[in-house]
Homo-oligomer: A and B are copies of this chain.
Amino acid sequence: MNKQLAMALASGILGTSILSAVHAADPKPQDVVEYRKSVYTVIGWNFKPIGAMIKGEVPFDAATVARHAQYVEMMSKAAPEGFAKGSGPDAVKNTEAKPEIWTNPDKFKTAMSNFQQESTKLAEVAKTGKEADIKVQFGKTAETCKACHKEFKKD
């Protein structure tokens, strides 16, 4: 991540546009599903090791936590694109996404926003390197994952 780019991020180019993003190339439903699954795979890849450190399964490393937390936040901003209209279970077979994502969009948007907000806080706290604070915010972020999955993802 270079300084110029970071400055652009600071200006809000990324954060604001992601939330209202419409994919330019009008992707096929199957491509949307593959994208959203990939986004959550990358989120899990970065989220899980933070938990492993908090649990003491691996040594706590502040820089690693900060990096992973930043990726979780960035991917949380990329997730909404993965739920484009027409990519639900009525259009594709290999998805665990519930129809409610599209039939109750306001509720889903709130759940997504909660995840994004807690992820942003986690990335901020992670930069402090304070393990106790990170543990608390990790828990709050994990709760938003669980809440959204319970409501909008098939078991």
Q: Which A residues contact B (CB, under 8 angstroms)? A: 1-10, 12-15, 17-18, 21, 23-27, 31, 34-35, 37-39, 41-42, 45, 48-50, 52-53, 57-58, 61, 63-64, 66-68, 70-71, 73-74, 77-78, 81, 120, 123-124, 127
Contacts and interface: CB of A to CB of B under 8 A. Distances in A.
Identical chains in the assembly? 2
A15 B52 CA distance: 23
30 contacts: A1-B10, A1-B13, A1-B14, A2-B124, A3-B12, A5-B70, A5-B123, A5-B124, A5-B127, A6-B6, A6-B8, A9-B9, A13-B67, A13-B127, A14-B67, A14-B70, A17-B67, A23-B45, A23-B49, A24-B58, A24-B61, A24-B68, A25-B48, A25-B52, A31-B45, A35-B42, A38-B39, A38-B42, A45-B81, A71-B74
A57 B13 CA distance: 24
A59 B129 CA distance: 44
B24 A35 contact: no
A34 B38 CA distance: 8
Given A9-B70, A37-B38, A63 B4 contact: no
B49 A25 contact: yes
Contacts of A73: 1, 5
A6 B70 CA distance: 10
Contact of A5 (B3, B31, B64, B120): B120
A66 B24 CA distance: 12
